[in-house]
Amino acid sequence: MSNRAQTPRQDEAGKSAAGYRPHLDGVRALAVILVILFHLGYAWMPGGFIGVDVFFVLSGYLITGLLLREISKRGRVNLVNFYSRRFRRLLPAATVVLLAVVALSLWLLDAVDKSSVGGDVRASALYVANWHFIAAGADYFAPGDVPSPLTHFWSLAVEEQFYFVWPALFFLLWFGVARFARRRRGDGTLGVLVGVLIIAAVSIVLSLTLVPSTNAYYSTFTRAYELCVGAILAIAARRYAGKIPNTPVLRSVGAVAIVVGVGALIALAATIPDATDYPGTAALLVTGSTLLVIFALEFLPLGIGHKALGQAAPAAVGRISYSLYLWHWPVIVFAPLIATKLLIAAPRYRGVQIAAMFLLAVISYFIIESPIRFRLGRFAKPVLVVAVGLGVSLAVALITPQFLKPQAAYGQKALIAVRDLAKPENCPYFPKEWKDPSDDLPCVYRKGGPRVIAFVGDSHAQQWQPAIKALAERYNFTVIRATRGGCPANWVTTYLYDEQGISRPDTDCDRWRARVYRDLVKVYNPELIFVATRSQEKGLRDGGRSVNKDKPDHLRIWAAGWDKTLRTLTAGTGTVVVARLLPTLPWRVPACLATASTAAQAKRCDSRVAVDQRILPYNAVIDQLPAKYPRVIVIDPTTIVCPKGFCPAIKDGIVVHRDDNHISATFARSVAKQFRELLEKAGALKP
């Protein structure tokens, strides 16, 4: 072996004069496995999403190294050739996944979810999925009934945007600085390094200042520094490659650095609790750990760390990592739907999911990805590959979503209703908008006169905001809002079961209520506090025990939770109005309406209050509250939403429900007068 460490020069096929580098495929394997473990819901891997960051750093390193070699060899960057290689590498497998998602969506999803997936397909095919999810306010970590099977395309979009911009920018930067450097007897490397450092620094500042937000997590600008860090390492490799001695000491240093770097990544994946403040400072640690691993693998002498990461198994997983990443999330999303569709009782099927995603990845790699990537390049003209690639992307983006659009006459009205919710506006509402629940404050939603009213609870209180706003405008009330998505109004600790049966308690809501409810009364002392919730559908904690909503003890725990809430809210001098629970309907109303072409067909989406027998004992508890607590009044908004026990899907041309249990904001606004009269009749509101 030479007395200098070899810094291999990798081409698109992963081959070079120094040979294939299986240890880098080992890094890819680590990254994709972390992501898969996270998405499978393993409680001991809550931060596995950091595997995406590892991919970013590695991509920045490899792509910049490729550009540097091309500049050294040809004196320029052939953009057509570069984009041709990228299209052959990424587009075929991604297109097959998109088409598979469309087919499965047609089979498994209702009309509303199909339409949503159609928009995701369009954005994914055009590699702008990250901006699409930012615009939609998507939450990757708290999905709804059916999470998008294409959410993971956000990271592919970031990389594709990098691939599109970086070669031209790098070429201009390199030769612009190089021309200046040649006057100073330099080759421009140091100047380019400074330029990339500036870009990275701006990205880091954005990453740190925008958290917590969807923009911070998905934005290309907040993630650019991770790609730039890889690029910086590649530039450094050009300057310092082959200058590090191959000594036993440095081999040991390399082995230790790899162990420390990999260990740090695993530790971070196991200890970062969620993505609330991500990327932020945690992503800096992930990036630094990844940088350490790649530096040790590529700069320091070959040793045990290279052998460990380059073993046959991790290297094989790394080679199929792209296809594996593409397929793993659709498999996880669609698996329970397929099981339900086929009437398969499979409460725990992680093993089946893992087998399916690996099988699909292997098939994709050997039948689609590898042949097109390597064999097509021998005879296909780069300009033709680019033209065909752009054409395929546009065709998928423009044509396939049409199959997922509802074709019925009521389809557009139904899709509008899905998004017709009472906007939080100037007050925080979603959990990710609250930095520390124990430091939260009630929010002044509307500044009016001296009379103050408030509304308190979860989304079932929030949905009445348009009616309360109309009421406040009529009487010039000041309105205080103490609503938070997913946080019950009664004082119970909730938890949710994920797909794998893991319960996750939510103590944030307890801390939030403790501060906000107390300050609501102490600071504002409203003359009327409207309270509504849907907590009867939540799993509850009883000491250290989890009690599912179907267990006999659930009602007892739920009823006991009203005591602390009402003692806190009645500590002032105002009236507390508790709303009876609205029924959960047997279907999502917009999904039903989306299939209706006539008024008669739309009538089939109506239902009755009696379909939800489960709320009867819970409403009986609410009915007894006025006897136990002073100044508590109970009202029944069901008389507005479902008059005479009948729940219309459409009333006076307005879609009443935006799902199976929430009313639409337009409907809430339209019944503002009825809402006011309901409060007046109950004696809760004085003109």
What per-residue confidence (pLDDT) applies to 141?
37
**What DSSP string runs through 509-535?**
HHHHHHHHHHHIIIII--SEEEEE--G
Mean pLDDT of 154-174: 88
Determine the 3-state secondary structure of 116 from DSSP: helix
pLDDT of residue 472: 94
- Confidence tier at 142 by pLDDT (50, 70, 90): very low
Lowest mean pLDDT among 143-147, 186-190, 641-645: 143-147
Q: With a cut of 60, say whether residue 200 has pLDDT above it.
A: yes
Q: Is residue 161 over pLDDT 80?
A: yes
pLDDT band at 176 (very low <50, low <70, confident <90, very high): low
Per DSSP, 663 falls in state B
- Residues 145-163, mean pLDDT to the nearest whole number: 89
Which of the residue ranges 2-6, 402-406, 447-451 has the most confident prediction, judged by mean pLDDT?
447-451
HEC string of 602-648 equals HHCCCEEHHHCCCHHHHHHHHHCHHHHCCCEEEECCHHHHCHHHEEC
What is the edge-to-edge ordering of all strands in the sheet holding 452-457? 443-446, 478-483, 452-457, 528-532, 575-579, 632-635
pLDDT of residue 6: 38
pLDDT at site 505? 78
pLDDT of residue 10: 36
Nearest partner of 279 among 155, 159, 163, judged by Cα: 155
Q: Grade residue 136 by pLDDT with cuts at 50, 70 and 90.
A: confident
Between residues 181 and 349, the one the model is more confident about: 349
Structure confidence at residue 639 as a pLDDT band (50, 70, 90): very high
Q: Which of 393, 361, 392, 389 is closest to 86 using CA atoms?
A: 389
Q: Is pLDDT of 570 > 60?
A: yes
Q: Which of 106-115, 431-440, 647-656 has the lowest mean pLDDT?
A: 431-440
Q: What is the pLDDT of residues 399-439, one digit of tens each?
A: 988 888 887 788 888 888 888 889 888 888 887 676 677 77
What are the angstrom distances between the C-alpha of 135 and each of 116, 145, 413? Answer: 13, 20, 21
pLDDT digit string, tens, across residues 658-681: 999 999 999 999 999 999 999 999
Give the C-alpha distances (Å, rounded to integers) separating 115 from 119, 120, 183, 191, 403: 7, 9, 59, 49, 9
Would you say 309 and 23 are in contact if contact means Cβ atoms under 8 Å apart?
yes
Compute the distance between CA of residue 427 and CA of residue 461 in angstroms, rounded to an integer.
Answer: 14
User: Which of 107-116, 259-268, 633-642 has the lowest average pLDDT?
Assistant: 107-116
**pLDDT for residue 191:** 66
State the number of CA atoms in the 13 A half-sphere of 554 facing the CB. 19
Strand partners, 497: 503
- The pLDDT of residue 307: 84
Task: Decide which of 378 and 118 is more confident.
Answer: 118
CATH number of 421-585+613-641+663-682, picked from 3.40.50.1110, 3.65.10.10, 3.30.479.10, 3.20.20.210? 3.40.50.1110
Which of 237-251, 334-348, 609-623 has the highest mean predicted lDDT (pLDDT)? Answer: 609-623
pLDDT digits (tens, 9 = 90+) for 355-393: 999 999 999 999 998 888 877 766 788 888 889 889 999
Provide the pLDDT for residue 4: 34
Say what the pLDDT of residue 138 is. Answer: 52
| Phi-psi group of 669: left, alpha or beta (phi > 0 → left; psi -120 to 50 → alpha; rest → beta) | alpha
pLDDT-based confidence at 179, cuts 50/70/90? low
| 669 φ/ψ angles, rounded to the nearest 5 degrees | -70, -35
Q: Are 430 and 635 in contact (CB under 8 A)?
A: no
The residues near 342 (Cβ < 8 Å, ≥ 6 apart) are none
pLDDT at 432: 67
**Alpha helix stretches (DSSP H) within 487-582:** 508-519, 553-569
What's the pLDDT tens digit per position in 468-478? 999 999 999 99
Average pLDDT, integer, range 449-456: 95
Q: H or E segment at 444?
A: strand 443-446
**CB-based contacts of 54, cutoff 8 Å, min separation 6:** 27, 30, 31, 34, 265, 286, 290
What is the DSSP code (8-state) at residue 478?
Answer: E
> What percentage of the chain exceeds 70 in pLDDT?
90
Range of lowest pLDDT (45-59, 202-216, 291-305, 336-350): 336-350
Residue 188 — very low, low, confident or very high, per pLDDT cuts 50/70/90? low
* Euclidean distance between CA atoms 180 and 168, whole angstroms: 19
Residue limits of CATH 3.40.50.1110 in the chain: 421-585+613-641+663-682
* Average pLDDT value over all residues in the chain: 86
What is the spatial distance between Cα 67 and Cα 61, in angstroms, rounded to a whole number?
10
Maximum C-alpha span of the chain: 92
Residue 15 has pLDDT above 50, yes or no: no
Rounded Cα–Cα distance for residues 545 and 484 (Å): 25
**Helix, coil or strand: residue 547:** strand
Q: Is residue 620's pLDDT more than 90?
A: yes
What's the pLDDT at 564?
Answer: 96
Return the pLDDT at 498: 45
Predicted confidence at residue 74, as pLDDT, reads 76
Structure tokens at 597: 């072409």
Query: How far is residue 482's CA from residue 245's CA, in Å, rounded to a whole number?
Result: 64
pTM, whole model, 2 decimals? Answer: 0.79
Q: How far is CA 598 from CA 43, 404, 410, 601, in A?
A: 48, 20, 8, 5
pLDDT value of residue 242: 63
Distance (Å, whole) CA 495 – CA 657: 26
The 10 Å Cβ neighbour count of residue 468 is: 27
Rounded to an integer, the average pLDDT of 454-458 is 95
Work out the average pLDDT over 517-535. 96
Least confident of 348-357, 621-630, 639-648, 667-676: 348-357
CA distances from 78 to 65, 68, 74, 174, 206 (A): 14, 12, 9, 14, 32
Mean pLDDT of the region 574-599 = 92
Residue 168 has pLDDT above 90, yes or no: no
Q: How far is 46 from 41, CA to CA, in rounded Å? A: 8
- Mean local confidence (pLDDT), 538-552: 86
Segment holding 82, helix H or strand E? helix 79-108
482 Cβ neighbours under 8 A, 6+ residues apart: 442, 443, 454, 455, 456, 457, 516, 517, 520
**Structural tokens at position 573:** 């001098």
Q: Average pLDDT in the 212-221 region?
A: 87
C-alpha gyration radius of the chain: 29
More confident residue, 254 or 586: 586
Average pLDDT over residues 46-60: 94
The stretch 336-342 carries a mean pLDDT of: 85
Whole-number Cα distances in Å, 38 to 273, 417, 641: 11, 33, 40
Looking at the predicted structure, is the pLDDT value of residue 645 above 60? yes
| DSSP code of residue 654 | E
pLDDT (average), residues 248-271? 89
